[in-house]
A and B are shown apart, each in its own frame.
Chain A
């Protein structure tokens, strides 16, 4: 047995020791005294504000009540009051001894500092395309993950939930999908930790979305899909600030479907199958499985700092009960960020994070039905004329088609519990070698331990069929390690040449282990999944080990001239273990130019203009998101039985590819940042074109070769688009109205496919047997285009029926359009040939939106604040397998009330076909719907208690708010929610399966009551 090296964690002890070194600051006192209070726009006291006597080193900071007291020399004229994120003020003393200061937030943009890879930059110096989302926006309403909160907040960023289930993930795309088969998920960088864990929303200070090559190329082979940089909150110098944020939300499913009741259902079924008898019940299954859900959300944080140590410690608890019975999710976490100034040259710090999450899952979005299908799909399709229990007190099962469990049984009986523990530590040390040169090193490690236990008891078909329950336990453990080392040089020459240079090296490794067992036929259901060995039927256990490593060199050069011209070069040289022996290393350069036209003399007189900057960038980034070991040929084990015993067996499954390498995306970006009317209105515009080549593509092999596919670098995809963000202060003063609008338009198009051939693929649920191809990849079209027949309504008496194998040829049958045929050589002619078959399929829908947008409004009046946030998507198509299953009208399951308008000899003026057994499921325009929507994502009204009341309560802040999420949606989509995904999991499906609807856990609408308290 060979010994394996697990991970590469060798954090030098010295760094850890240094973390414990703390210094304590003293205070000093002098003679003459001026006192005062500092508040913000909301009249809330501001602790930690620096107050300095101008021209001296005499200063102090405000306490928790925003109050300060300072001894000033007799000749002092002016106080300087400053605070991070606020406009500094100079206050003439004019003999006063008591002063009230109101600091205003820094106006939009101009001096804002944004995080970029391996550093920060003044927004005015930025040459790349970066969108920022603030902590207020992230924590505007309770969300499990900050990713949810990003929806509609930044131009170029498209977020949609993969499933509405508590704890489910989101699909994130920055400027569209750059790939077809590889993942197009952006990478997350949390406080510099590439691939770090996303902290709870309440602990996040800001999120930057890096979009163009100038911003992302520093992340090289992982930058092509954009970068989401997360900065967590840190302590500010000053007395401890204690904050408690808590909210309670009530939730309901966002919508329901109008389904047939028992009588309507029987009328329909008996039209197709006259000998079926009613079961005698009348159950509204939606009533049985939905319940009011709720979320409790708490965060308690303590932050502050002295001269040498800053700290931020926070604990969160999020506890959700889903809107489907038996579904729940909870998460609690602790975050601790400590920064130590060990000497005037040396800083160290540690971010530590620990989290446990527990999920009680329900089965939804099933890939294949089985006899215990998903709760939602069975709720819609299960026979409404059956009661919950039969005469013997057992759960009813389907009788018209597969004997599936009823939805109530599935929701209440099936057990699926998942627990994940995450720990992350990221330590840094920063040393100022010279005034202009500093060195920073970081060591980060994150581990995740997961356990999932599942049990199907004998009250369900699945458990009964297994001979007495079916139990599984799966465990996993993964470790990610990252070490970064880089030097930064920053110097201004002659007050007009500003040089910044950065260069570094990083190493990252990952190890993932998984294992599990499965066993069936237990003595009692009470055992659940906690004694696999007691099952009478043991299934084969599994275990797996996967690792990868990346080694990288990177650097950046910035030059700025007189705040007018900026030049940036970025480069990264990445080596990855995932790729073929011949192609391990690749180079990703980018360059950008910036021009602050607003600072030019010819615009100095334009008083309406505050600033105007042009940005132009071009560069290469990569996508290495394929699984390890895919370049290697292999045999895979096969379960084989000889003479009643299992034996070792294997078959060839994968052929080698010695030249597999990165996908490379070349991106050109032209942008402008314009600010007018004294920064009242700020506008950011970007236009871009990205071409991704060497697509990592699973090429279909001829199946007679004995292989199914091979991953190769073939093909090109283009994304081009336009983004706009406008921030406008429509009203300032006593009544304030700040408005943010963002707009993103992206056009995705396939430029090149292997051999130029179309590639068709299917995404339907497995139990929709025979559905076949549902989507197509075709040059000149978008990825994920829907593919099928054109539905021309219903055949009428006397129509000429177009012949074709398996197609209906009778009145009331589905009528499809004949659009294509073949000549004698077997080539497609593009002309109708009088028969209907597979050649008559065409592209019938595009799941990519024409544009998406967000519209946020913040109003303030006295102590009240009001937030109205809309978010929407326009022009995207949805293919609904849910409605296909329900409204096939083949006499095997329930239907929506559309079935009431089905064709009968007495009701011929309809496009709903008649009820008939044996109808084939076909993807056609009948199931393609416009998925455009506009949604009131958040409506929130808050009230800040006035300072007079607060003083009596001994509080620094108390805000009470009520809010509502998702309460209002305008859409023509006939499913229950236009924000759906199905079969979008896994890297391969992320771009190819978009806009599909089947059996999703519904999103929720919420009503929230919350309090923010500052002590």
Chain B
């Protein structure tokens, strides 16, 4: 009897357990690509993923924009105790293993990958072109925005404009010439200009509109010295500024107060949310501490600090100087001049650290909406390109004077005459130099200057000449207008050889 019972039990057990074995994985909480893109909203999820990576520590939160700043003549290293890789970007002695590069390079491509995934997802939707094309346009805008940065920094790079399901398929591709990538960028921006909306609800500027796409087209043409097209696009934005809601902010300072969020002057912003840590570097903004003052009550790290020359040569009566700089700060509750700063006895950049909004004590995880493009730049592009294309005219002078007029507004009161309007008609070369200098000051520390130095080949003048703003005897024009590609990429795929010259 007992025997039978037991045998039954054994059989029941073995059969019972064998039959409930199911080795298929049914993960909970994982997003499977096959099932992801069902609705337009799902495509938006991938587009938003790209924005999340742009607003990350690797790109607009620190690494990428710091590298752009350091490379220029406007920002130097403050604390020389900071990691060598930053000093090497600044001092023109970097190599192909530079850590800043190896951190921001993959994030640009992951941003592109997200955009490509969104495009593939949108193309698979069963919906009308009115629904699908704007989604594709937004993703193509992000892709073009990313490649536009990449080729200005690196020159020729691998160009991928489709969603990769099998990385093996691109394992041995070669670089695409920058010239060819520019065609892709222009097509993407043109498509975006065609299909994006004029505005977003609540005038959000961290998503692109027709105006944003046109503005970037103007910038691309300007970089390529296609003056007529650059002028045309910029002029189109200016002519349609009311349609897009663009205007100059009356008080320059308002652009650099995190809590103000997106302003009418903004054309494209990178949106960080205060005091939130997103993981993987997402939403981690470190520009306030990177540029802030070490030892101050409002703690910073004194890494990105302009040379004295930048401060000294800037007219004290220019309001923008005092928005851009802190030359004193509270230390233990007492205002200390920069000569008494603990670490780096120089005025520091104030645009990011002064009003970081809701953030950590040192300004990390700030609430800034960083300006990637603002209306003032469109005016300056129209001025520069217009002068180059059609000569100096009252119209192009007027664009510069609009900027200068706003700069004379000291927090609501017009108390200064600096910077004065241009009242004469300078020659073309002189005017272009004026515009470039106005760009330098108006857009100071906004990640634009290095691209200007590069496209106008100003390196020898600003780093080597007798009047060098930031002397760097190591500057080599044959090498230093491009960054090296990450060595690891060349190791994994030797077809990316040759490395950029000099590295």
Contacts and interface: CB of A to CB of B under 8 A. Distances in A.
Interface of A: 4, 8, 10, 12, 14, 346, 371, 392, 399-403, 431, 433, 439, 441, 461, 464-467, 483, 485, 505, 507, 520-521, 537, 539-540, 544-545, 549, 551, 575-578, 581, 584, 628-629, 631-652, 655, 700-708, 710, 757-758, 760, 768-773, 805-806, 826, 837-838, 890-892, 917-921
Contact of B277 (A4, A539, A770): A539
A581 B88 CA distance: 49
Contacts of B112: 706
Given A551-B21, A651-B110, A838 B342 contact: no
B81 to A, nearest CB: 4
B282 interface: yes
B426 interface: no
A577 B20 CA distance: 13
Contact of B48 (A402, A485, A576, A640): A640
A644 B262 CA distance: 9
B84 interface: yes
Which 6 pairs from chain A and chain B are nearest by CB?
Answer: A706-B113, A639-B278, A640-B52, A649-B48, A769-B83, A638-B52
A122 B2 CA distance: 32
Contacts of B202: 643
Given A638-B48, A805-B93, A643 B80 contact: no
Given A649-B52, A707-B167, 7 more contacts: A632-B25, A649-B45, A770-B84, A772-B102, A837-B95, A891-B81, A920-B88
Contact of A581 (B24, B87, B114, B279): B24
29 contacts: A14-B9, A402-B301, A403-B294, A549-B22, A575-B21, A577-B22, A632-B32, A634-B32, A639-B282, A640-B283, A641-B272, A642-B51, A642-B206, A643-B200, A643-B204, A645-B273, A649-B45, A651-B52, A701-B167, A702-B158, A702-B489, A703-B488, A703-B489, A703-B492, A704-B109, A708-B106, A769-B86, A838-B96, A891-B81
Contact of B278 (A461, A638, A710, A891): A638
Nearest to B491: A757
Interface stretch (B125-133, B357-365, B380-388, B408-416): B357-365
Interface stretch (B11-19, B230-238, B313-321): B11-19
A644 B22 contact: no
Interface of B: 2-3, 6, 9-10, 13-14, 16-18, 20-25, 27-34, 36, 45-46, 48-53, 55, 79-81, 83-88, 93-99, 102, 105-106, 109-110, 112-114, 116-117, 157-158, 160, 163-167, 170-171, 200-202, 204, 206-207, 261-262, 271-273, 275-280, 282-283, 294-295, 299, 301, 332, 342-343, 358, 360-362, 364, 486-489, 491-493, 497-499
Contacts of A402: 301
Contacts of B272: 641
Contacts of B276: 537, 539-540, 639, 641, 646
A705 B36 CA distance: 20
Contacts of A392: 332
A507 B498 contact: no
Nearest to A922: B84
A654 to B, nearest CB: 9
B84 A918 contact: yes
A551 B16 CA distance: 13
A635 B31 contact: yes
A351 B461 CA distance: 82
B498 A826 contact: yes
A805 B20 contact: no
Contacts of B164: 655, 705-707
Given A464-B361, A507-B17, A640-B55, A769 B85 contact: yes
B362 A632 contact: no
A708 B106 CA distance: 8
A806 B95 contact: yes
B84 A644 contact: no
A465 B51 contact: no
Contacts of A917: 80-81
Contacts of B23: 549, 551, 575-577, 584
Contacts of B22: 549, 577
A599 to B, nearest CB: 39
A483 B17 contact: yes
Most A CB contacts (10 A, CB to CB) among B18, B28, B262, B360 go to: B360
A549 B21 contact: yes
Contact of A705 (B160, B271, B280): B160
A707 B166 CA distance: 10
B492 A890 contact: no
A642 B271 CA distance: 7
B88 A806 contact: yes
Nearest to B37: A635
Given A633-B32, A704-B160, A918-B87, A826 B96 contact: no
A703 B273 contact: no
B167 A651 contact: no
A636 B34 CA distance: 14
B488 A700 contact: yes
Contact of A639 (B30, B88, B279): B279
A705 B496 CA distance: 13
Contacts of B32: 632-635
A641 B170 contact: no
A431 B6 contact: yes
Contact of A648 (B18, B48, B301): B48
Nearest to A916: B80
